[in-house]
Structure 1
Amino acid sequence: MFADDPERADARPAPEAEQARPAGDGPAGFELDTDDAPELHEADAVGGADAEGEPEKPAEPWGPGGARTVAPQRHSAPDREAARALFVRLAQLSEGSPERVELRNQLVRMHIPLVEHLARRFRNRGEPLDDLTQVATIGLIKSVDRFDPERGVEFSTYATPTIVGEIKRHFRDKGWAVRVPRRLQELRLSLTTATSELSQRHGRSPTVHELAEHLGISEEEVLEGLESANAYSTLSLDVPDTDDESPAVADTLGAEDDALEGVEYRESLKPLLAQLPQREQRILVLRFFRNMTQSQIAAEVGISQMHVSRLLARTLAQLREKLLIEE
Structure 2
Amino acid sequence: MLTDTNRPGTNVRSKASSARRHDDAPDTAELFARLAALDDGPERDAIRDRLVTSWLPMAHRIASRFRDRGESVEDLRQVAALGLVKAIDRFDPERGAFESYAVPTITGEVKRHFRDRMWALRVPRRVQELRNKVRVARRELTQTPGSPEPSTADIAAHTGLTEDEVAAGLEALESFSTLSLDAELSADEDGYSLADTLGGPDGSYDVVIDRESAKEGLRRLPERERTILYMRFFEDMTQSRIADQLGISQMHVSRLISRSCAQVREEVLGQRRARGRSAGQRPAA
TM-score, length basis structure 2: 0.60
Stretches of structure 2 lacking an aligned partner (at least 5 in a row)? 1-17, 212-231, 243-285
Q: Mapping of 1:2-21 within 5 angstroms?
A: none
- Name 1:10's counterpart in structure 2: none
- Name 2:43's counterpart in structure 1: 99
- Name 2:235's counterpart in structure 1: 273
- Name 2:252's counterpart in structure 1: none
Distance 1:203 1:239, change over 3 A: closer
The structural deviation recorded for 1:190 is 1.0
Is 2:175 the partner of 1:175? no
Does the 8 A contact of 1:209 with 1:219 survive in 2?
yes
Is 2:120 the partner of 1:158? no
Q: Deviations over 1:185-230 (max 9, x none)?
A: 1111111111122234581111111111111111111112222233
Task: Supply the distance in 1 between the matched residues of 2:88 and 2:142 (Cα, whole angstroms).
Answer: 41
Does the 8 A contact of 2:25 with 2:99 survive in 1?
no
Task: Supply the distance in 2 between the matched residues of 1:144 and 1:179 (Cα, whole angstroms).
Answer: 31
Find the partner of 1:87 among 32, 54, 72: 32
Task: Supply the distance in 2 between the matched residues of 1:207 and 1:247 (Cα, whole angstroms).
Answer: 31
Find the partner of 1:135 among 72, 79, 82: 79
Task: Supply the distance in 2 between the matched residues of 1:138 and 1:107 (Cα, whole angstroms).
Answer: 13
- Name 1:305's counterpart in structure 2: none
Is 2:100 the partner of 1:190? no
Task: Supply the distance in 1 between the matched residues of 2:58 and 2:84 (Cα, whole angstroms).
Answer: 9
Distance 1:171 1:261, change over 3 A: closer
Task: Supply the distance in 2 between the matched residues of 1:251 and 1:205 (Cα, whole angstroms).
Answer: 32
- Name 2:159's counterpart in structure 1: 215
Stretches of structure 1 lacking an aligned partner (at least 5 in a row)? 1-37, 40-74, 279-327
Task: Supply the distance in 2 between the matched residues of 1:101 and 1:223 (Cα, whole angstroms).
Answer: 50
The structural deviation recorded for 1:257 is 5.7
The structural deviation recorded for 1:146 is 0.9
- Name 1:309's counterpart in structure 2: none
Answer 1 or 2: which has greater helix percent: 2
Does the 8 A contact of 1:194 with 1:214 survive in 2?
yes
Residue identity matched to 1:195? R
Does the 8 A contact of 2:52 with 2:84 survive in 1?
yes
Does the 8 A contact of 2:155 with 2:166 survive in 1?
yes
- Name 1:126's counterpart in structure 2: 70
Aligned residue for 2:174, secondary structure, equals: helix
Distance 1:242 1:102, change over 3 A: farther
Does the 8 A contact of 1:237 with 1:248 survive in 2?
no
The structural deviation recorded for 1:150 is 1.5
Aligned residue for 1:217, secondary structure, equals: coil
Task: Supply the distance in 1 between the matched residues of 2:135 and 2:63 (Cα, whole angstroms).
Answer: 19
Residue identity matched to 1:91? A
Does the 8 A contact of 2:185 with 2:194 survive in 1?
no
Q: Which runs of 4+ in 1 moved over 6 A?
A: 240-243
Task: Supply the distance in 1 between the matched residues of 2:43 and 2:53 (Cα, whole angstroms).
Answer: 15
Distance 1:242 1:103, change over 3 A: farther
RMSD value over aligned CA atoms? 3.4
- Name 2:221's counterpart in structure 1: none
The structural deviation recorded for 1:250 is 5.6
The structural deviation recorded for 1:154 is 1.4
Is 2:192 the partner of 1:230? no
Task: Supply the distance in 2 between the matched residues of 1:182 and 1:168 (Cα, whole angstroms).
Answer: 11
Aligned residue for 1:274, secondary structure, equals: coil
The structural deviation recorded for 1:169 is 0.4
Task: Supply the distance in 2 between the matched residues of 1:237 and 1:255 (Cα, whole angstroms).
Answer: 13
Task: Supply the distance in 2 between the matched residues of 1:262 and 1:111 (Cα, whole angstroms).
Answer: 63
Task: Supply the distance in 2 between the matched residues of 1:200 and 1:209 (Cα, whole angstroms).
Answer: 18
Distance 1:107 1:200, change over 3 A: closer
Q: Which has the higher contact order (CA 8 A, sep 6+)?
A: 2
TM-score, length basis structure 1: 0.53
